[in-house]
Structure 1
């Protein structure tokens, strides 16, 4: 089979021939039909101390199962998070991290929706939204952000603002159902909002906190770091909440599954429309990473073997 790898931190991505892996106990071997590309993986390639397997969300057909596997069988279409080599024709999923793909969804839909949707829904839930509130979503055109914008509306947001790095993304974000779109460099972010879902961090935290109304909440789920001044929170009785998907996946599996079911329900009902920026071939993995690094994507970046 073909597999994407790299030899040194920041080094070029390339295709190699590798043996098809064998599923171990509780594992599924999946023929990959779609593979999600994420910012954390891109950062590990460019900034990590040593090479790592290129993992992430995958979707496809189960072609073999390991011993002790009871929830899935050969021929089923599934999606899940691969912790090993996922940029490949075939990859392994652990049964606990796998869910079925409905008949009316494509593999690309599944890769866009499930992991990114779980992050978006988790961050939104952490904000404790109330019907009629105003929401602001940063990185609103990203794989997670474009779903967070739509989910905020399903949770009753009366006004949804999308914040983007480039004004050229405004049309895409407006089509998602936002009331306003702003660019990060704008001095005026408009009327205050009740909560911010922030996937950017860094220097954007200061204007994001300033955009909150008194008593507002900012949910930080970015790996980009950043600092917030305590006085900026005190003066408006504002709060910051950290959210990490791994905490839910490891510690609250029932909630994780409930959120997955909610995402598929919203998809089936037409209330949640996953968008893929472009379908890259495996040999175009470097171009897919460059798209993420340049922040030029509109929706999820996906590899299709």
Structure 2
């Protein structure tokens, strides 16, 4: 089968198509024939050596496809079933083996691209809102608000009753897109004043943007960090202003709070059916354009989700 791998670290140019044997599911795994795979910034950073993985390496990602094989010990899955989930490696390919615990069934009335966006981006967007103790009427600020997760976080905050939603973006050209998602106010990262203080910041950028997000909080405000870039926090500042900083990683939720994960996925499907949540796909590209997809994300040029189509 075809797969995209990198044999050395570097930029998008290190990605190449290889032919490899079809994987076999082992205990607790299922084999998924992939219809679509999402491209994420943490994976883009991975090719540049920001994490230690054995080489050659096929990047992971959120996937949607059909079950083609079932490993020993797996129950509740059937061959031919349409599913979506997370593959921590091997996703840039025509097929991948995934732990059955990381998969969820896709309803017939949810199309592939919407399912792909909601199974990770939607779960993260809803997860960070809940992790931050979001309540109806809260004011919310979302960084990376035009990205694959950020635009869904803006939509969800508005749909679930936020008193005010502020979108923070890196480029003023994305302001119109952010407003279309439900933002009441849009700021750019380089602005000194981000407007009135907010109750909750959802930060998908880190670094200096995370610092600005902390400054944007009202007393007793909360910041939820779900980025891979990191940043430092002055705990004395947190104490003096009564702030909270929470980290969110979706993999832990999916693996350790499975009932919560499944309940939230059902909620996301219903919000989609009701027209209150509308995932945006910036572009869907064939597998052999994986390098172009990475360039798009590195340039922060996307508005919504970037997708690869293996077949």
TM-score between both structures, scaled by the size of structure 1 = 0.95
* CA–CA distance in structure 1, aligned partners of residues 52 and 250 of structure 2: 24
Q: Of residues 272, 297, 306 in structure 2, which corresponds to 1:301?
A: 306
Q: Is the 8 Å Cα contact of residues 205 and 228 (structure 1) preserved in structure 2? A: no
1:40-72 superposed Cα distances (whole Å, 9 cap, x missing partner): 111111124453331111111222222333212
1:102 alignment partner in structure 2 = 107
Q: Is the 8 Å Cα contact of residues 279 and 302 (structure 1) preserved in structure 2? A: yes
SS at match of 2:233: coil
* CA–CA distance in structure 1, aligned partners of residues 52 and 255 of structure 2: 26
Cα drift, residue 144 of structure 1: 0.9
Written as runs of structure 1 = structure 2, the 5 A alignment for 1:1-305 is: 1-10=1-10, 12-47=14-49, 48-50=51-53, 51=55, 52-305=57-310
Q: Which runs of 4+ in 1 moved over 4 A?
A: none
Cα drift, residue 84 of structure 1: 3.2
* CA–CA distance in structure 2, aligned partners of residues 68 and 141 of structure 1: 41
Q: Is the 8 Å Cα contact of residues 3 and 58 (structure 2) preserved in structure 1? A: no
1:218-243 superposed Cα distances (whole Å, 9 cap, x missing partner): 11122111123334334432222222
* CA–CA distance in structure 2, aligned partners of residues 18 and 122 of structure 1: 36
RMSD (Å), alpha carbons: 1.6
SS at match of 2:46: helix
Cα drift, residue 250 of structure 1: 2.6
* CA–CA distance in structure 2, aligned partners of residues 77 and 118 of structure 1: 18
Q: Mind listing any 5+ residue stretches in structure 2 that lack a counterpart?
A: none
Cα drift, residue 276 of structure 1: 1.1
Q: Mind listing any 5+ residue stretches in structure 1 that lack a counterpart?
A: none
Change (3 A) 1:254 1:224: same
Cα drift, residue 26 of structure 1: 2.9
